[in-house]
Structure 1
Amino acid sequence: MPIYEFEHVIRLAASQKRALAKAITDWHATSFNAPRFIVQCRFIDVGQGSLSDIFIGGQPRKINRLFVSLRSGAGRTQQQLEGMTHKLVSMWDNVAGSTPEAELRAVYIKGTLDSAFEGGFHLPMPGKFEQWVKDNTEKFKVLAAAGDEDFIGLVKEIETRPEFQK
Protein backbone atom coordinates (compact mmCIF):
# COMPACT_ATOMS: atom_id res chain seq x y z
CA MET A 1 0.00 0.00 0.00
CA PRO A 2 -0.18 2.17 -1.95
CA ILE A 3 -0.26 0.10 -5.10
CA TYR A 4 0.52 1.59 -8.50
CA GLU A 5 -0.47 -0.87 -11.25
CA PHE A 6 0.44 0.01 -14.81
CA GLU A 7 -1.30 -1.79 -17.66
CA HIS A 8 0.86 -1.01 -20.66
CA VAL A 9 0.60 -1.87 -24.33
CA ILE A 10 4.02 -0.47 -25.20
CA ARG A 11 7.06 -2.52 -24.39
CA LEU A 12 8.83 -1.18 -21.30
CA ALA A 13 12.45 -2.13 -20.69
CA ALA A 14 13.46 -3.27 -17.22
CA SER A 15 15.37 0.00 -16.84
CA GLN A 16 12.21 1.99 -17.61
CA LYS A 17 10.22 0.02 -15.05
CA ARG A 18 12.94 0.61 -12.45
CA ALA A 19 13.04 4.33 -13.29
CA LEU A 20 9.25 4.68 -12.96
CA ALA A 21 9.15 2.64 -9.74
CA LYS A 22 11.97 4.72 -8.24
CA ALA A 23 10.42 8.04 -9.28
CA ILE A 24 7.00 7.07 -7.91
CA THR A 25 8.44 5.63 -4.71
CA ASP A 26 10.61 8.68 -4.03
CA TRP A 27 7.76 11.06 -4.82
CA HIS A 28 5.17 9.18 -2.74
CA ALA A 29 7.50 8.74 0.23
CA THR A 30 8.49 12.39 0.38
CA SER A 31 5.05 13.80 -0.49
CA PHE A 32 3.26 11.80 2.20
CA ASN A 33 6.09 11.35 4.76
CA ALA A 34 5.85 7.60 4.32
CA PRO A 35 8.59 4.96 4.28
CA ARG A 36 9.61 3.79 0.83
CA PHE A 37 9.06 0.11 1.59
CA ILE A 38 5.27 0.56 1.62
CA VAL A 39 5.13 1.77 -2.01
CA GLN A 40 4.44 -0.96 -4.54
CA CYS A 41 4.59 -0.68 -8.33
CA ARG A 42 3.40 -3.40 -10.68
CA PHE A 43 3.77 -3.50 -14.45
CA ILE A 44 1.38 -5.64 -16.47
CA ASP A 45 2.10 -5.97 -20.19
CA VAL A 46 -1.32 -6.05 -21.83
CA GLY A 47 0.02 -5.64 -25.35
CA GLN A 48 -0.60 -9.28 -26.30
CA GLY A 49 -2.98 -12.10 -25.44
CA SER A 50 -6.22 -12.09 -23.50
CA LEU A 51 -5.13 -9.24 -21.23
CA SER A 52 -5.11 -6.96 -24.27
CA ASP A 53 -8.90 -7.20 -24.68
CA ILE A 54 -9.71 -3.63 -23.68
CA PHE A 55 -12.83 -2.01 -25.08
CA ILE A 56 -13.71 1.67 -24.82
CA GLY A 57 -17.12 2.75 -26.04
CA GLY A 58 -17.67 -0.79 -27.25
CA GLN A 59 -14.61 -0.65 -29.51
CA PRO A 60 -11.34 -2.53 -29.04
CA ARG A 61 -8.51 -0.24 -27.98
CA LYS A 62 -4.85 -0.53 -27.05
CA ILE A 63 -4.05 1.99 -24.33
CA ASN A 64 -1.68 2.46 -21.42
CA ARG A 65 -3.38 3.08 -18.10
CA LEU A 66 -2.60 3.27 -14.41
CA PHE A 67 -4.66 2.10 -11.45
CA VAL A 68 -3.66 3.50 -8.06
CA SER A 69 -5.04 1.97 -4.87
CA LEU A 70 -4.69 4.14 -1.77
CA ARG A 71 -5.94 4.08 1.79
CA SER A 72 -9.59 5.07 2.06
CA GLY A 73 -10.65 7.71 4.52
CA ALA A 74 -7.46 9.72 4.08
CA GLY A 75 -9.35 12.95 3.42
CA ARG A 76 -7.56 13.85 0.19
CA THR A 77 -9.23 16.68 -1.68
CA GLN A 78 -10.20 16.55 -5.35
CA GLN A 79 -7.45 19.10 -6.03
CA GLN A 80 -4.85 16.85 -4.33
CA LEU A 81 -6.02 13.81 -6.30
CA GLU A 82 -5.88 15.73 -9.57
CA GLY A 83 -2.39 16.96 -8.65
CA MET A 84 -1.33 13.34 -8.05
CA THR A 85 -2.71 12.39 -11.47
CA HIS A 86 -0.78 15.13 -13.26
CA LYS A 87 2.43 14.22 -11.40
CA LEU A 88 2.06 10.53 -12.32
CA VAL A 89 1.43 11.34 -16.00
CA SER A 90 4.51 13.57 -15.99
CA MET A 91 6.67 10.79 -14.50
CA TRP A 92 5.35 8.35 -17.13
CA ASP A 93 6.04 10.81 -19.96
CA ASN A 94 9.59 11.39 -18.69
CA VAL A 95 10.34 7.66 -18.80
CA ALA A 96 8.10 6.18 -21.52
CA GLY A 97 7.70 9.18 -23.79
CA SER A 98 4.66 11.14 -24.87
CA THR A 99 4.07 9.81 -28.36
CA PRO A 100 0.47 8.81 -29.17
CA GLU A 101 1.20 5.09 -28.69
CA ALA A 102 3.13 5.73 -25.45
CA GLU A 103 0.51 8.07 -23.96
CA LEU A 104 -0.70 7.21 -20.47
CA ARG A 105 -4.30 7.46 -21.58
CA ALA A 106 -6.05 6.86 -18.25
CA VAL A 107 -5.24 7.18 -14.55
CA TYR A 108 -7.66 5.88 -11.95
CA ILE A 109 -7.07 6.63 -8.27
CA LYS A 110 -9.10 4.46 -5.93
CA GLY A 111 -9.26 5.04 -2.18
CA THR A 112 -10.15 1.43 -1.43
CA LEU A 113 -7.65 0.11 1.08
CA ASP A 114 -9.28 0.09 4.51
CA SER A 115 -6.49 -1.82 6.22
CA ALA A 116 -2.92 -2.61 5.31
CA PHE A 117 -0.59 -5.21 6.81
CA GLU A 118 2.95 -5.43 5.45
CA GLY A 119 6.08 -7.07 6.76
CA GLY A 120 4.30 -8.07 9.96
CA PHE A 121 3.03 -4.57 10.78
CA HIS A 122 -0.36 -2.89 10.49
CA LEU A 123 0.28 0.31 8.61
CA PRO A 124 -1.13 3.58 9.92
CA MET A 125 -3.38 5.95 8.02
CA PRO A 126 -1.66 8.59 5.88
CA GLY A 127 -0.34 11.42 8.00
CA LYS A 128 0.52 9.07 10.87
CA PHE A 129 3.68 7.45 9.47
CA GLU A 130 6.20 9.63 11.31
CA GLN A 131 4.94 8.51 14.72
CA TRP A 132 4.48 4.92 13.53
CA VAL A 133 8.11 4.80 12.38
CA LYS A 134 9.32 6.26 15.69
CA ASP A 135 7.19 3.79 17.67
CA ASN A 136 8.51 0.78 15.73
CA THR A 137 12.13 1.69 14.96
CA GLU A 138 13.57 -0.78 17.47
CA LYS A 139 11.52 -3.64 15.97
CA PHE A 140 12.63 -2.58 12.49
CA LYS A 141 16.27 -2.71 13.62
CA VAL A 142 15.83 -6.27 14.91
CA LEU A 143 14.36 -7.36 11.57
CA ALA A 144 17.13 -5.57 9.68
CA ALA A 145 19.78 -7.27 11.82
CA ALA A 146 18.16 -10.61 10.95
CA GLY A 147 18.71 -9.85 7.26
CA ASP A 148 15.24 -8.73 6.11
CA GLU A 149 15.97 -6.60 3.02
CA ASP A 150 12.87 -4.40 3.40
CA PHE A 151 13.82 -3.48 6.93
CA ILE A 152 17.51 -3.03 6.13
CA GLY A 153 16.39 -0.39 3.65
CA LEU A 154 13.89 1.09 6.09
CA VAL A 155 16.49 1.45 8.86
CA LYS A 156 18.84 3.22 6.42
CA GLU A 157 15.98 5.49 5.39
CA ILE A 158 15.13 6.29 9.01
CA GLU A 159 18.72 7.39 9.54
CA THR A 160 18.58 9.87 6.66
CA ARG A 161 15.09 11.37 6.86
CA PRO A 162 14.63 14.09 9.47
CA GLU A 163 10.91 13.44 9.88
CA PHE A 164 11.72 9.94 11.19
CA GLN A 165 14.30 11.04 13.76
CA LYS A 166 13.49 10.70 17.44
Structure 2
Amino acid sequence: MPAGLFGDKYHQLPRSLSREASSAGVFTVIRQDEGRCRLPWLRRSGRKVETAERLAKFLALIAVVSWRIFFVTMSARAKPDAAPDSVLTFAEITALDQIDASRTRPRLQRPTLAAYLLQIAMLGGYLARKHDPPPGNMVVWRGITRLHDIAFGIPIGSSRRCG
Protein backbone atom coordinates (compact mmCIF):
# COMPACT_ATOMS: atom_id res chain seq x y z
CA MET A 1 0.00 0.00 0.00
CA PRO A 2 1.86 3.12 -1.15
CA ALA A 3 1.85 6.13 1.11
CA GLY A 4 0.01 8.32 -1.39
CA LEU A 5 -2.82 5.85 -1.90
CA PHE A 6 -5.16 7.69 0.43
CA GLY A 7 -5.09 10.86 -1.63
CA ASP A 8 -4.55 13.23 1.25
CA LYS A 9 -2.51 12.98 4.43
CA TYR A 10 -5.31 11.70 6.64
CA HIS A 11 -7.31 8.51 6.53
CA GLN A 12 -9.97 7.34 8.96
CA LEU A 13 -10.34 3.80 10.27
CA PRO A 14 -13.57 2.44 11.75
CA ARG A 15 -13.40 1.95 15.49
CA SER A 16 -14.01 -1.80 15.23
CA LEU A 17 -10.43 -2.32 14.06
CA SER A 18 -8.91 -1.79 17.48
CA ARG A 19 -9.91 -1.73 21.10
CA GLU A 20 -7.92 1.42 21.71
CA ALA A 21 -9.60 3.22 18.85
CA SER A 22 -13.05 2.30 20.08
CA SER A 23 -12.27 3.56 23.57
CA ALA A 24 -10.94 6.83 22.13
CA GLY A 25 -14.01 7.61 20.02
CA VAL A 26 -15.70 6.87 16.76
CA PHE A 27 -12.65 7.18 14.51
CA THR A 28 -8.90 7.04 14.75
CA VAL A 29 -6.97 9.18 12.33
CA ILE A 30 -3.81 7.98 10.62
CA ARG A 31 -1.39 10.69 9.62
CA GLN A 32 1.06 9.81 6.90
CA ASP A 33 4.31 11.70 6.50
CA GLU A 34 6.91 10.53 3.99
CA GLY A 35 5.52 6.98 3.92
CA ARG A 36 5.27 6.57 7.70
CA CYS A 37 2.06 6.06 9.64
CA ARG A 38 1.47 7.85 12.90
CA LEU A 39 -0.93 5.93 15.13
CA PRO A 40 -1.02 6.93 18.78
CA TRP A 41 -2.73 3.72 19.90
CA LEU A 42 -0.06 1.61 18.19
CA ARG A 43 2.67 3.61 19.87
CA ARG A 44 1.07 3.01 23.29
CA SER A 45 0.75 -0.73 22.69
CA GLY A 46 4.41 -1.01 21.68
CA ARG A 47 3.84 -2.16 18.08
CA LYS A 48 6.45 -1.18 15.51
CA VAL A 49 4.36 -0.16 12.51
CA GLU A 50 6.04 2.59 10.57
CA THR A 51 4.95 2.19 6.96
CA ALA A 52 1.53 1.82 5.39
CA GLU A 53 2.46 -1.64 4.11
CA ARG A 54 3.31 -2.85 7.61
CA LEU A 55 0.10 -1.32 8.91
CA ALA A 56 -1.95 -3.15 6.30
CA LYS A 57 -0.30 -6.48 7.22
CA PHE A 58 -0.79 -5.83 10.92
CA LEU A 59 -4.48 -4.96 10.49
CA ALA A 60 -5.02 -8.04 8.31
CA LEU A 61 -3.55 -10.25 11.02
CA ILE A 62 -5.60 -8.60 13.75
CA ALA A 63 -8.75 -8.95 11.66
CA VAL A 64 -8.26 -12.71 11.27
CA VAL A 65 -7.53 -13.24 14.96
CA SER A 66 -10.47 -11.10 16.10
CA TRP A 67 -12.79 -12.86 13.66
CA ARG A 68 -11.84 -16.25 15.08
CA ILE A 69 -12.39 -15.11 18.67
CA PHE A 70 -15.77 -13.65 17.72
CA PHE A 71 -16.66 -16.87 15.84
CA VAL A 72 -15.79 -19.09 18.82
CA THR A 73 -17.78 -16.90 21.21
CA MET A 74 -20.88 -16.59 19.04
CA SER A 75 -20.85 -20.27 17.99
CA ALA A 76 -20.93 -21.33 21.63
CA ARG A 77 -23.85 -18.98 22.27
CA ALA A 78 -25.81 -20.07 19.20
CA LYS A 79 -25.22 -23.84 19.55
CA PRO A 80 -24.04 -24.62 23.08
CA ASP A 81 -24.48 -28.39 22.67
CA ALA A 82 -22.36 -28.60 19.52
CA ALA A 83 -19.20 -30.67 19.39
CA PRO A 84 -16.13 -28.65 20.38
CA ASP A 85 -14.12 -29.87 17.38
CA SER A 86 -16.45 -27.90 15.12
CA VAL A 87 -14.80 -24.68 16.29
CA LEU A 88 -11.68 -25.52 18.33
CA THR A 89 -8.54 -27.20 17.07
CA PHE A 90 -7.36 -30.60 18.27
CA ALA A 91 -4.44 -29.02 20.16
CA GLU A 92 -6.76 -26.62 22.01
CA ILE A 93 -9.16 -29.42 23.00
CA THR A 94 -6.27 -31.63 24.15
CA ALA A 95 -4.75 -28.83 26.23
CA LEU A 96 -8.10 -28.05 27.88
CA ASP A 97 -8.62 -31.75 28.63
CA GLN A 98 -5.17 -31.99 30.21
CA ILE A 99 -5.79 -28.88 32.29
CA ASP A 100 -9.12 -30.29 33.47
CA ALA A 101 -7.65 -33.73 34.22
CA SER A 102 -5.05 -32.19 36.54
CA ARG A 103 -7.75 -30.68 38.78
CA THR A 104 -8.99 -32.52 41.86
CA ARG A 105 -12.61 -31.95 40.76
CA PRO A 106 -12.88 -31.90 36.95
CA ARG A 107 -15.13 -29.15 35.58
CA LEU A 108 -15.82 -30.62 32.15
CA GLN A 109 -18.79 -32.91 32.80
CA ARG A 110 -20.00 -33.02 29.19
CA PRO A 111 -17.75 -32.31 26.20
CA THR A 112 -19.85 -29.53 24.66
CA LEU A 113 -18.77 -26.32 22.99
CA ALA A 114 -20.29 -24.22 25.77
CA ALA A 115 -18.31 -26.11 28.43
CA TYR A 116 -15.05 -25.64 26.55
CA LEU A 117 -15.77 -21.95 25.96
CA LEU A 118 -16.41 -21.53 29.68
CA GLN A 119 -13.02 -23.12 30.42
CA ILE A 120 -11.32 -20.81 27.92
CA ALA A 121 -13.07 -17.80 29.46
CA MET A 122 -12.02 -18.88 32.94
CA LEU A 123 -8.41 -18.96 31.75
CA GLY A 124 -8.96 -15.35 30.70
CA GLY A 125 -10.29 -14.28 34.10
CA TYR A 126 -14.02 -15.00 33.83
CA LEU A 127 -15.38 -15.89 37.28
CA ALA A 128 -18.48 -17.87 36.13
CA ARG A 129 -20.72 -16.80 39.00
CA LYS A 130 -24.45 -17.44 38.77
CA HIS A 131 -25.37 -13.80 38.13
CA ASP A 132 -22.56 -13.11 35.63
CA PRO A 133 -23.45 -12.54 31.96
CA PRO A 134 -21.96 -14.94 29.38
CA PRO A 135 -18.27 -14.41 28.62
CA GLY A 136 -17.46 -11.72 26.10
CA ASN A 137 -14.90 -11.41 23.36
CA MET A 138 -12.21 -9.73 25.47
CA VAL A 139 -12.17 -12.41 28.16
CA VAL A 140 -12.23 -15.14 25.48
CA TRP A 141 -9.30 -13.41 23.74
CA ARG A 142 -7.28 -13.41 26.97
CA GLY A 143 -8.23 -17.05 27.58
CA ILE A 144 -7.27 -18.21 24.09
CA THR A 145 -3.95 -16.38 24.41
CA ARG A 146 -3.25 -18.15 27.68
CA LEU A 147 -4.48 -21.48 26.27
CA HIS A 148 -2.06 -21.22 23.35
CA ASP A 149 0.80 -20.52 25.77
CA ILE A 150 -0.18 -23.56 27.84
CA ALA A 151 -0.58 -25.75 24.75
CA PHE A 152 2.87 -24.65 23.60
CA GLY A 153 4.38 -25.47 27.00
CA ILE A 154 2.78 -28.89 27.57
CA PRO A 155 5.09 -30.80 25.18
CA ILE A 156 8.09 -28.95 26.57
CA GLY A 157 7.18 -29.87 30.14
CA SER A 158 6.29 -33.46 29.36
CA SER A 159 9.62 -34.26 27.70
CA ARG A 160 12.10 -34.39 30.57
CA ARG A 161 15.45 -34.09 28.87
CA CYS A 162 17.44 -32.84 31.81
CA GLY A 163 17.34 -33.41 35.55
Task: Report the TM range for the smaller structure's normalisation.
Answer: under 0.3
Greater strand share, structure number: 1
Give the number of the structure whose alpha-carbon radius of gyration is greater: 2
Indicate the structure whose relative CO is greater, using CA pairs within 8 Å and at least 6 residues apart: 1
TM-score, normalization by structure 1: 0.24
